[in-house]
Structure formats: structure tokens, C-alpha cells
A and B are shown apart, each in its own frame.
Chain A
């Protein structure tokens, strides 16, 4: 069974940093692209970033480009999202999701990030 478990969320002040993790199991992690998708409270889904299976290529939404960095450790079956220069508008539940041919076919339960002074 595919499982994705996010962690690392919490409260942080504007301008601060946070690193999210997503532990994967139940599939060969190193074979799949992975994504981060976020959802602000009461709002819709917003795609954040994608990373290739070998980590050699990454792409970001304009809203986080230059502030967020997606990475992965295939030896640890773990996906990361390093978030810096955080803003109030980054407050959201952050989901990691597995990519299967340009669709997100499995999702974690999410981790909440709150940016507030």
C-alpha cells in the first residue's frame, strides 16, 4: 500500500524558515516524480513544485520561486520542501503527492504551516 506521511509543519514568524518532510513507503520511491501541493484554509488546491525521480530537475510555481526548494533523498525514501522568507500567504496545509504520468495519484494527509507574528 502506497503511504505518504508529511511532517515538519508548525507555526513560524514572517520571514522565517521551515523544512517539510514526506516519508514514502509501499512503492519504489526512486522511480517516481514527486510534488508538493498546498491548500490555504478554506481555499482550493495550488500546485507548488515537482521534482524528477533522480532529483536532477525541479520546477516551481511563480509564487514560491526563489524562496522554496524541493529535494529528495532516495536512500531514505524521503521528499523535502525547504521554505524560506515565509509570508502570511504561505499559510496552508502542504501535501506531498506521487506523480504517475502527469497526474498526482497518491497523496499524503498533509501538514499545516502557519505563518503569523
Chain B
């Protein structure tokens, strides 16, 4: 199972919006169980988006998810310094395994 494809890095200024893409196949992204995780250095991952576009309780509404064909996207609006972290997409596949993206480092300028 190949990893999902994410850009290695993205950046934005405080207050701006950024979007991170995550490209896979019909067998993973196409399965519609897409999640996004935020990971600060030395910390455990935190679930930010599930089932493509749903936010867990307690996650800021500045985070949103979407999908078009076999590419999922995470958008962060009103960037804040605390958003600087690594972001990973993940998908539950049609062969009942999970696959993660390679991760994207978000820098808040």
C-alpha cells in the first residue's frame, strides 16, 4: 500500500488561509474515510478532521476538510502561530488497512 501524496511543506502569514492536498486512489481516498492529524514536535498526533469534512468536538472551526475525486484537502483559515505543526492525512482503504500521507510541515511566517 503506497503512502498518500502530500506536499512536503506549505507556509502562510498570520490571518491568511492555506490548503494542504492529499492525493491517493479510488481504493483509499475514494473510500471516503479520510482523516487529518496535527502533530507538534515531540507530541502525539491529534485528530482534526474525520470522514473527509467533520470536526471532532473541541477542534477550531478554522479547520475544514473537503474532497474532490481522489484528492482530499485540509484548509486552515485565519492562520495562527499555534497552527505551525506537521499535518498528516490518512485513509481507511478498501482492503481494510489504513494508509497515511508523508506529512506536510506548515510554517507560519
Residues on A close to B: CB < 8 A? Answer: 35, 37, 44-47, 50, 59, 61-62, 95, 101-110
B44 adjacent to A47 (CB under 8 Å) = no
Interface, chain B (partner A; CB < 8 A): 1, 3, 33, 35, 37, 39, 43-47, 50-51, 56, 88, 90, 92, 96-103
- B33 with A102: CB separation less than 8 A: yes
8 A–B contacts, CB within 8 A, in A order? A37-B45, A47-B98, A61-B1, A103-B35, A103-B51, A105-B47, A105-B50, A107-B44
Q: Closest CB-CB distance, A38 to chain B, in whole Å? A: 10
| In the complex, number of A-B residue pairs with CB atoms less than 8 Å apart | 62
Task: Check B1–A35 contact: CB distance below 8 A.
Answer: no
- A96, closest chain B residue (CB): B44
A45 touches B100 (CB 8 A): yes
Residue of B nearest to A95 (CB): B44
Residues of B with C-beta under 8 A to A95 = 44-45
Question: Judging by beta carbons under 8 Å apart, are B56 and A105 in contact?
Answer: yes
**Supplied contacts A35-B98, A45-B45, A47-B98, 6 more A-B pairs, CB within 8 Å:** A44-B100, A46-B100, A61-B1, A103-B47, A106-B47, A109-B43
Question: Is A44 in contact with B44, judged by CB distance below 8 angstroms?
Answer: no
Q: Residues of A contacting B96 with CB < 8 Å?
A: 59
A45 with B97: CB separation less than 8 A: no
User: Nearest 10 A-B pairs (CB), nearest first?
Assistant: A47-B98, A102-B92, A44-B103, A107-B44, A102-B33, A103-B50, A103-B35, A45-B100, A44-B102, A105-B47
Residue numbers in B under 8 Å from A103 (CB-CB): 33, 35, 47, 50-51, 90, 92
- Please tell me which one of the listed residues B1, B3, B97, B98 contacts residue A44 in the complex, with CB atoms under 8 A apart: B3
Contacts of B35 in A (CB 8 A): 103-104
**A35 partner residues in chain B, CB cutoff 8 A:** 98
Option from B3, B44, B90, B97 in Cβ contact (under 8 Å) with A110 = B44
CB nearest to B99 among chain A residues: A47
Whether A61 lies near B97 (C-beta < 8 A) is yes
Tell me, in angstroms, the Cα distance from A107 to B56 when the chains sit together. Answer: 14
